Amino acid sequence: MKLSVRAVILAGGKGSRLVGIDAKPLAPLLGKKLIDYPLGQVLDFFKSESIDGSISIVTGHKNEDVEEYIKESYPSALINFALQKKALGTGDALNSYFLSNPESASEYDLTLVLCADTPLLTAKNIKALYEKCLEDGVEGALATFVTSNPFGYGRIIRSESGLSIVEEKEADEFQRSVKEVNSGLYLFKTNFVAKKLKGLKPKGDKGEYYLTDVIESGDIVKPILSSDEKCFLGVNNLEQLEEAEKELLKRKVCELRDRGVRFLMSDTAYIENDVVIGEGSVIHPNTLLFGKTSIGKGCIIEAGAVIRDSLVGDGTVVKSYSYLDEATVFQEVKIGPFAHLRPKTVAKSFVKIGNFVEIKKSTLFEGSKVSHLSYVGDAEVGERTNIGCGFITCNYDGAKKHFTKIGKDSFVGSDTQMIAPVEIGDRCFVASGSTIGQSMPSDSFAIARARQITKEGLAKKFIKNKEES
Ligand code: UD1
Ligand code: CA
């Protein structure tokens, strides 16, 4: 038997304990947002169990920002929104969902409730509740866990007639000593929870409606005690945000390791959620891989490399302390140490970009080399062309950027500048120390530096004798 499920993610709270973050569901977390994680787990659960399901997100504080983000990131057909006008508690949040979906809510057999601030849940945790709800007579199930520090969580009070949940604020001394707590993940028969919500009474000085009060002794709501406390961490402050990120990072590293990525000191690497790394690659300590970065197979990413939203082809080596930002690097490229590849850099196969080289919005074609201390901006460097040490494209005239094109199989001597716009043909030779402001046809030679004068015996006039002075 399969039951249909509507997942309701509660994201209407202000999250005032998460200081410095405007919209709590959009708190940054390993390259994504806090709300992406419970959302992703629900989608995983629907997919892996072939559930007929959909998702509703209850928004409140900063609702427009949250809705805009979700609409941009997910297919709209599956997700809708319910507005909680005032943050009057988790019970009121779920009630807002029922009020905004008066008809469609009852079309689903089960209502799954998740908090937007529990990012470490897994599809397995949801599945355990789902299986319990398939049992005869069960009206709902909730995930609980035992923790040595239950502060802030609702305590699970078990008695012969069933269970109830007492929030920190209302708990007496005995109840506060209970270590089994409410995870905030529930699955209810829809008609059960809809009915119980109608009977909720406000509590405390803020007049909040607690969702936890829908569960009373006598109800057949089953607690599923999980042994993995980590899955249920609630993110209410910056320390918990950091803790959640560390755990997600650990999972990311394990997943990559399982796919054949080798780490030297994995606990020092920072790898965001969407990063892809191919088999046989080695990640050295203190590397930071951000955004949509994709690293191919058999690459070496050395210590201190920072790579953001870049593609790195198979067999490429990024040496220590190089910084790649929106760059596209093909196969077997050597980069760094201390290289800076800025947006729209394209380095084709077998390119070499050496130390203290900065490249911006330029394409280096197959086998070309810029090995030392150079700036290449708004340029093209042809196949197999060698650029010597200390080369500069003078691409900016104070108002506009201009283009430099250098053909294939050319040789550009050290300490050369090219004043753009300028075009150098194929198989050209530019002598060292030249300032090139005029284009060169293919197969030509250019030298543009002052002629040397040598005067024999004149050195003594210039060499100062230290003892005399
Ligand atoms: C809640 C539970 C607690 C449980 C804990 C697990 C209640 C009363 N308490 O406490 O038993 O141990 O989660 O992490 O449910 N929200 C709204 N509208 C509101 C208030 C909250 O949408 O008016 C949303 C929040 O955005 C958040 C979630 O509900 O995503 C949980 O709210 P929060 O204030 O963090 O509840 P806790 O105090 O952590
Ligand atoms: Ca919380």
How do residues 400-454 score in pLDDT, each as one tens digit?
999 999 999 999 999 999 999 999 999 999 999 999 999 999 999 999 999 999 9
* pLDDT above 90: residue 25: yes
Strands 32-33 and 28-29: antiparallel
The residues lining ligand 1, judged by C-beta closer than 6 Å to any ligand atom, are 10-13, 58, 60, 84, 87-90, 92-93, 115-118, 153-154, 165, 167, 181-184, 210-212, 234, 236
Mean pLDDT, rounded, for 264-286: 98
d(CA 399, CA 421): 13
What does the pLDDT look like over 449-468, one tens digit per residue?
999 999 999 999 998 876 66
Give the mutation target among 22, 67, 85, 90 for probing the ligand 1 site: most ligand atoms within 8 A of CB: 90
284 is catalytic: no
What does the pLDDT look like over 353-384, one tens digit per residue?
999 999 999 999 999 999 999 999 999 999 99
| Residue 93 backbone dihedrals phi, psi, to 5 degrees | -60, -45
d(CA 104, CA 79): 13
Q: Which two three-digit tokens encode residue 234?
A: 């609630």
Mean pLDDT, rounded, for 21-43: 97
Higher pLDDT: 464 or 94? It is 94
Give the CA angle between residues 402, 405, 411 to the nearest 5°.
135
Q: Which pLDDT band, with edges at 50, 70 and 90, does 168 fall under? A: very high
Amino acid 325: pLDDT: 98
Is residue 375 helix, strand or coil?
Answer: strand
Neighbouring CB atoms inside 10 A of 128's CB total 15
Q: Cβ distance 184 to 167 under 8 Å? A: no
Q: Is 97 left (phi over 0), alpha (psi -120 to 50) or beta?
A: alpha
Q: Which pLDDT band, with edges at 50, 70 and 90, does 146 fall under? A: very high
Amino acid 469: pLDDT: 56
Mean pLDDT, rounded, for 230-257: 97
Neighbouring CB atoms inside 10 A of 430's CB total 24
Q: Which helix (H) or strand (E) holds 13?
A: none
Mean pLDDT, rounded, for 186-196: 97
* pLDDT above 80: residue 83: yes
